[in-house]
Amino acid sequence: MNEKNDKLNGCITLPVSVVSGCLDNDFSFTKEECQEIQTEITHYENLQAAVITSLKIVQKRCGWVMDCAIISIAEMLRISVSDVESVATFYNQIFRQPVGRHIIRFCDSVVCYISGCQSFQIKLEQFLCIKTGETTLDNRFTMIPVSCLGKCDCAPVIMIDDDIYTHVLSMDITEMLEKYL
């Protein structure tokens, strides 16, 4: 067995609530998920490098990363909970609270701001009846600001799931969101 895999604290077989005192939610990795993490570890010198992969695995299954999963990752990789939390909160693609089925990311960088993104943001908030960072009551949409979507020449820009929309001021919100309803 690889020395790096020997360092791994193994997959937790008990619910995390039993192991770590997390009362409301249970989380444990499946055998397949553990194998995926162990494979990832073989590519790096230290276990902490597998944090992002572990977070993505949790989010893929649950839709977001709950506190119990943070604890489970920390225990499995033998690193501090705060180290896992710092990675989880640094990346805007990792969600630390439940999100809707569709994620609307609107660029609020300087270029998009100058191009009028705030007026489109206001229209989206009014149409969806939510504020930035919130999820609609039907759990269909979550609206999140991002610092750049890499399409500055086409500003303002929004991204819904994996679909990018450019020059959005000229677009009808109803038409844009139609395929996600």
Please report, rounded to a whole number, the percentage of residues in the chain having pLDDT higher than 90: 52
Q: What pLDDT score does 26 carry?
A: 75
Domain ranges of the chain: 12-98, 102-179
Q: Could you give the CA distance from residue 57 to residue 135 in angstroms, rounded to a whole number?
A: 22
Q: What pLDDT score does 4 carry?
A: 43
Q: Could you give the CA distance from residue 164 to residue 158 in angstroms, rounded to a whole number?
A: 6
Assess whether the region 12-98 and the region 102-179 belong to the same CATH fold. no
Q: Does pLDDT of 181 surpass 60?
A: yes
**pTM for this model (two decimals):** 0.71
Class of domain 12-98: mainly alpha
Classify domain 102-179 by CATH architecture: 3-Layer(aba) Sandwich (3.40)
User: Alpha carbon of 121 to those of 81, 117, 127, 173, 176: distances in Å?
Assistant: 35, 6, 10, 10, 14
Strand partners, 169: none
pLDDT tens readout for residues 113-156: 999 999 889 989 999 999 999 999 999 999 999 989 999 999 99
> What order of strands is seen across the sheet that includes strand 102-107?
141-146, 102-107, 158-160, 163-165
